[in-house]
Amino acid sequence: MHETVFSKEIIRVINHKLKSLDGNSKISSVSVRLSPLSHVRPKTLNAAFLQMIKTSNLKDMSLNIKSSEVELECKSCGRRFNVFKPIFVCPHCKSKGFDIKEEHEFFVESVEIEKKQDVCIWYNACPLKRFYEQGKLPKGWIEDYCWGDNSKCVRKKMEEEDRYHPDNMLPDGRIDKGLR
């Protein structure tokens, strides 16, 4: 049950981060810390997370789970020590009683962002981006030319040669009078 709560928290953090990204970036991985004293095991958390994202746009993302450090204090000898895995006796006096002094059961440590490859260097300044965002240009044009193999884009070639081209010129060189 805890793994579901933790997975939902990971997705909440991811969705928050996605709001700040432009169309040229994506989240490639998330790193989380899991307490060794948690009732959740890394394999169980990973399985729950993968189940939640398997049909979403996050399905190719990886989840890195690391053990977090927990600070304990022995009730018998009073010594403090840190652990990365569950223990049942004090490493100093072998007593079985200790208090948890500092523990973070679970937290998202980092979100890795990478730029999508092959995005045209002119994309953010290109009027085709504006037309696409306004719903005037089908996504296929953007996917095939701006986000894909943009070496075939006539607009890009003309821009790099510092040659004039109208805003309503499509990537294949045709003029679309409906784009304004």
List strands edge to edge, sheet with 62-67.
62-67, 25-34, 106-115
How far CA 89 is from CA of 41, 74, 78, in Å, comes to 21, 9, 13
- The ranges assigned to domains in the chain are 2-115, 117-180
> Would you tell me how many other CB atoms lie within 10 Å of the CB of residue 80?
14
Q: 2-115 has which fold?
A: hypothetical protein PF0899 fold (3.30.2320)
Task: Give which of 166, 164, 122 is closest to 145, Cα–Cα.
Answer: 122
Task: Give which of 132, 109, 112, 110 is closest to 23, Cα–Cα.
Answer: 132
pLDDT value at residue 6: 95
- Summarised one tens digit per residue, pLDDT across range 117-171 is 678 889 999 999 999 999 999 988 988 888 877 888 999 999 999 999 999 999 9
pTM of the model: 0.59
- Summarised one tens digit per residue, pLDDT across range 63-81 is 999 998 899 999 999 999 9
